[in-house]
Amino acid sequence: MAALTGGCACGRVRYRLNEAPLFTYACHCTDCQRTTGSAFVIHSTVARQDFEIEGETRSVMLPTDSGAGYDIHFCANCSTYIWCIYHMRSDPVLIIRAGTFDDAAKIKPGAHIFTDSMQPWFRLPEDVPSFQAAFDRNLTWPVESLDKLAGLIARA
């Protein structure tokens, strides 16, 4: 796969993803609705080692239902949210907000989660699995991605 690139709205922050995301999903939880100002977020989970970023960013820690919290990282100039890290898991991954990819149309969610809080007018695609709360990645991620993650954890 050719590297995927992306960045913020003002162009000062640019990133490059050297390998395909491990998995991409749409999250309909109320936290994601609020921080995006939209109906849901599209999140691509990627290996930290595959992610290169240039430009000044800031971050803020926000609460999650688990109590562990998560950090959202955004452009220091225009405040576009670019990626986040959840503290509940210590896996060597981070999550890119997929709307920031230059070619976001190449990224398609492989699952819809937290559909309990989904906006009532949104219609779920029939060919994509959906979950009322979080998903079990062993049931949703491609085997290659599970294998890659296991390797990353073993080496971390």
Q: Which residues bind Zn ion (CB under 5 A)?
A: 8, 10, 12, 27, 29, 32, 75, 77-78
The least CB distance from residue 109 to Zn ion, in Å, is 12
Compute how many other C-beta atoms are within 10 angstroms of the C-beta atom of residue 27: 23
19, 47 contact by CB (below 8 A)? yes
Cβ-based nearer residue to Zn ion, 115 or 148: 115
Cβ-based nearer residue to Zn ion, 8 or 20: 8
3-state class of 78 per DSSP? coil
Rounded to whole angstroms, the Cα distance separating 35 from 72 reads: 9
94, 71 contact by CB (below 8 A)? no
The least CB distance from residue 94 to Zn ion, in Å, is 15
Task: Tell me the C-alpha to C-alpha distance, in Å, between residue 82 and each of 10, 117, 138, 144.
Answer: 12, 23, 26, 25
The least CB distance from residue 40 to Zn ion, in Å, is 8
Cβ-based nearer residue to Zn ion, 10 or 88: 10
Query: Minimal CA–CA distance to 115: which of 32, 36, 47, 49?
Result: 32
Cβ-based nearer residue to Zn ion, 130 or 148: 130
The least CB distance from residue 79 to Zn ion, in Å, is 7
152, 91 contact by CB (below 8 A)? yes
Cβ-based nearer residue to Zn ion, 12 or 146: 12
3-state class of 106 per DSSP? helix
The least CB distance from residue 11 to Zn ion, in Å, is 6
